[in-house]
């Protein structure tokens, strides 16, 4: 049970409390894998990856992404053993590359998790509206349904984290189970038989592999948040690395197999056309074909709960990022508070709830389409931002251990982080190159071009770290005492 340690109740300012607890590796893996949201990925992102990305070859990109991120996780786990702070990316970057870069990393992390969270709010709003209309005939706008979910997530996020982890655990088991059943049935009923066509090099590089890679990496966003729960882990030096490796490997294997099963369910010659007919309902139509009406209904319910688990988990991650940044003195002090009874970062949770609600209202005012615009656009922003952030973190790992010599394992502190860095940089370049295709920026002849939408969304990834650098410079010049506290909180 998570509890507040009275001896550690005060941190940087009076009234601030430290999150402590006894979450094990399994509970943390549930939190971060639920953020990856298996059924949301297979039912939402995978059809879009097949349609807008590299078609039949899309499943292979999950395996590619898993290898890259596993290499990155080696360095991340090494840092977690030597830096006993829960800030994850911004803390590790601060220790390796300095306070200013650490603060820039904090702001790009905030962009990542906020963008991916609101993107899923768009998708869940669509699915709820679609389901309500299908089964009752009542039509309500997607944004109204999304706002209702934001309110429910806010209630759970305000309360005890153990409640969140238990809810996530139950939902995760159910959604993994229904996808596993589908794959098992497809093994015996695939219309074109079973094949390894999705892993053929010609298929992997076909179409728009940069877009496909974006959707594949997006499926892993949140696995690195194991480090965010350090203060609430039972034995952080063992629990955090174990949870990180389990999350990456488990996510990679499951998504590769499940998306392969989705391709086999329609056949390599038919899956792209099936996705083009309506990517949002592809998983439901697949379930109806192989598991009947009951399977379709169950999947519809679980797809909604899967997305709910996703936004709940990201809500918990963002609130803890805000909590860590507040403790470091770079966000208002009140965000570092811990509720006296629920033992949660309650005010930070409230702020994140309001932020999500405001963004959904803005999307509604601009009449953005919930799947092909809200979900796709902001998932793209989040994926590019996290790839850049992880690349910077890889460099920070190498620099930190080269300077301190606290860990002399060459593989853990140099080779694996360097290989991960190369993979992440190449992935980022591919995502940028294919970004106009993803957001639908086209010229008069229908050719992809970097237009207003592309530049605006890519600009967010550039502007947010600049906010961090500017804030660090301002604190160093105007509030030297606060900068000294920032030094202690972010970079030892």
Query: pLDDT per residue over 322-378, tens digit each?
Result: 877 777 777 777 776 665 565 567 778 888 899 999 999 999 999 999 988 999 999
| Alpha carbons 125 and 304: distance in angstroms, whole number | 9
Answer for the pair 27, 165: CB distance below 8 angstroms, yes or no.
yes
List C-alpha distances in Å: 309 to 111, 164, 175, 291, 431.
20, 9, 10, 24, 27
pLDDT at site 144? 96
List C-alpha distances in Å: 2 to 101, 215, 341.
32, 34, 11
Answer for the pair 86, 320: CB distance below 8 angstroms, yes or no.
yes
Contacts of 247 (CB under 8 A, 6+ apart): 29, 32, 33, 36, 223, 226
| Alpha carbons 108 and 54: distance in angstroms, whole number | 28
Highest mean pLDDT: which range of 140-149, 222-231, 325-334, 479-488? 140-149
> pLDDT category, 6, cuts 50, 70, 90?
very low
Question: Higher confidence at residue 407 or residue 232?
Answer: 407
pLDDT digits (tens, 9 = 90+) for 117-141: 999 999 999 989 988 988 888 889 9
Q: Which of 351, 353, 356 is nearest to 378 (CA)?
A: 356
pLDDT digits (tens, 9 = 90+) for 191-204: 999 999 999 999 99
| Alpha carbons 35 and 376: distance in angstroms, whole number | 17
Least confident span in 224-228, 260-264, 440-444, 458-462: 224-228
Over its C-alpha atoms, the chain yields an Rg (Å, rounded) of 22
Answer for the pair 137, 149: CB distance below 8 angstroms, yes or no.
no
| Main-chain dihedrals φ then ψ at residue 391, nearest 5 degrees | -65, -45
Q: Is 367 exposed, middle or buried (0-12, 13-18, 19+ CB in 10 A)?
A: exposed
> pLDDT category, 16, cuts 50, 70, 90?
very low
pLDDT at site 210? 93
pLDDT digits (tens, 9 = 90+) for 168-180: 667 778 888 999 9
pLDDT at site 2? 32
Question: Higher confidence at residue 46 or residue 99?
Answer: 46
Mean pLDDT of 1-17: 37
Highest mean pLDDT: which range of 76-85, 226-235, 390-399, 438-447? 390-399
Residue tagged 């369910």 (tokens)? 265
Beta bridge partners of 23: 233
What kind and span of H or E run contains 429?
A: helix 416-433
| Alpha carbons 140 and 123: distance in angstroms, whole number | 14
Question: Higher confidence at residue 203 or residue 485?
Answer: 203
Mutual angle of helices 416-433 and 209-218, in 10-degree steps? 120
Answer for the pair 354, 113: CB distance below 8 angstroms, yes or no.
no
> pLDDT category, 15, cuts 50, 70, 90?
very low
Answer for the pair 139, 295: CB distance below 8 angstroms, yes or no.
no
> pLDDT category, 244, cuts 50, 70, 90?
confident
List C-alpha distances in Å: 179 to 61, 302, 313.
19, 10, 20
> pLDDT category, 53, cuts 50, 70, 90?
very high
Q: Is 163 exposed, middle or buried (0-12, 13-18, 19+ CB in 10 A)?
A: middle
Mean pLDDT of 197-224: 91
pLDDT at site 160? 56
What token pair was written down for 49? Answer: 């990856």
Question: Higher confidence at residue 213 or residue 164?
Answer: 213
Question: Higher confidence at residue 364 or residue 164?
Answer: 364
Answer for the pair 71, 420: CB distance below 8 angstroms, yes or no.
yes
> pLDDT category, 433, cuts 50, 70, 90?
very high
| Alpha carbons 451 and 441: distance in angstroms, whole number | 6
Question: pLDDT > 90: what percent of the chain?
Answer: 49
User: Residue 7: pLDDT above 80?
Assistant: no
The half-sphere exposure of 350 on its side-chain side, counting CA atoms within 13 A, is 8
pLDDT at site 82? 80
Question: Higher confidence at residue 37 or residue 417?
Answer: 417
> pLDDT category, 10, cuts 50, 70, 90?
very low
DSSP 329: T
- What domains can be seen in the chain, in order of their start residue? 6-491 (1.20.1740.10)
Least confident span in 254-268, 301-315, 401-415: 301-315
| Alpha carbons 77 and 433: distance in angstroms, whole number | 31
Q: Could you please report the per-residue DSSP string of 437-456? A: HHHT-B-TTS-B---HHHHH
User: Residue 237: pLDDT above 90?
Assistant: no
Question: Higher confidence at residue 359 or residue 237?
Answer: 359
| Alpha carbons 424 and 68: distance in angstroms, whole number | 7
Q: Which of 188, 174, 190 is nearest to 40 (CA)?
A: 174
pLDDT at site 14? 37
pLDDT at site 436? 92
What token pair was written down for 36? Answer: 């990856």
User: Residue 295: pLDDT above 70?
Assistant: yes
Question: Higher confidence at residue 99 or residue 32?
Answer: 99
Q: Please give the mean pLDDT across all residues of the chain.
A: 84
Highest mean pLDDT: which range of 107-111, 268-272, 293-297, 310-314? 268-272
């Amino acid at each position: 049970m998570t509890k507040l340690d009275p001896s550690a109740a005060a941190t940087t300012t009076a009234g601030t409390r430290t999150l402590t607890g006894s979450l094990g590796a399994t509970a943390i893996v549930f939190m971060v894998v639920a953020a990856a949201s298996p059924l949301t990925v297979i039912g939402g992102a995978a059809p879009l990856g097949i349609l807008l990305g590299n078609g039949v070859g899309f499943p292979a990109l999950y395996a590619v992404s898993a290898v890259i991120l596993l290499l990155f996780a080696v360095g991340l786990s090494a840092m977690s053993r030597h830096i006993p702070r829960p800030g994850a990316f911004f803390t590790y970057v601060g220790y390796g590359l300095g306070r200013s870069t650490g603060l820039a990393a904090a702001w790009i992390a905030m962009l990542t998790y906020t963008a991916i969270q609101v993107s899923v709010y768009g998708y869940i709003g669509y699915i709820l509206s679609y389901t309500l209309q299908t089964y009752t005939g009542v039509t309500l706008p997607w944004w109204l349904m999304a706002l209702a979910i934001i309110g429910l997530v806010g209630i759970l996020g305000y309360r005890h984290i153990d409640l969140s982890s238990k809810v996530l655990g139950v939902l995760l088991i159910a959604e993994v189970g229904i996808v596993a059943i589908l794959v098992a049935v497809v093994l015996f009923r695939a219309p074109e038989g079973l094949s390894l066509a999705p892993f053929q090099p010609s298929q992997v590089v076909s179409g728009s592999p940069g877009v496909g890679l974006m959707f594949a990496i997006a499926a892993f966003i949140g696995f690195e948040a194991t480090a965010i729960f350090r203060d609430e882990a039972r034995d952080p030096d063992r629990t955090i690395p174990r949870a990180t490796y389990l999350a990456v490997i488990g996510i990679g294997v499951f998504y590769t197999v499940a998306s392969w099963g989705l391709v086999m369910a329609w056949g390599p010659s038919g899956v792209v056309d099936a996705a083009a007919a309506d990517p949002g309902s592809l998983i439901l139509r697949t379930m109806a074909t192989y598991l009947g009406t009951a399977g379709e209904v169950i999947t519809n319910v679980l797809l909604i709960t899967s997305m709910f688990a996703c936004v709940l988990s990201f809500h918990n991650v963002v609130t803890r990022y805000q909590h860590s940044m507040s403790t470091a003195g770079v966000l208002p002090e009140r965000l570092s508070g811990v509720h006296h009874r629920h033992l949660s970062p309650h005010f930070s949770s409230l702020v994140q709830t309001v932020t999500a609600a405001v963004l959904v209202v803005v999307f509604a005012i601009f009449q953005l389409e919930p799947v092909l615009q809200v979900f796709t656009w902001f998932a793209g922003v989040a994926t590019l931002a996290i790839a850049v952030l992880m690349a910077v973190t890889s460099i920070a790992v190498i620099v930190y251990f080269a300077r301190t010599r606290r860990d002399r394992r060459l593989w853990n502190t140099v080779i694996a982080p360097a290989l991960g860095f190369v993979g992440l940089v190449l992935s980022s370049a591919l995502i940028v190159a294919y970004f106009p295709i993803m957001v639908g920026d086209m010229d008069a002849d229908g050719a992809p071009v970097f237009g207003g939408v592309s530049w605006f969304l890519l600009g967010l990834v550039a502007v947010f770290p600049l906010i961090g650098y500017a804030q660090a410079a301002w604190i160093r010049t105007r509030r030297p005492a606060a900068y000294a506290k920032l030094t202690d909180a972010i970079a030892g």
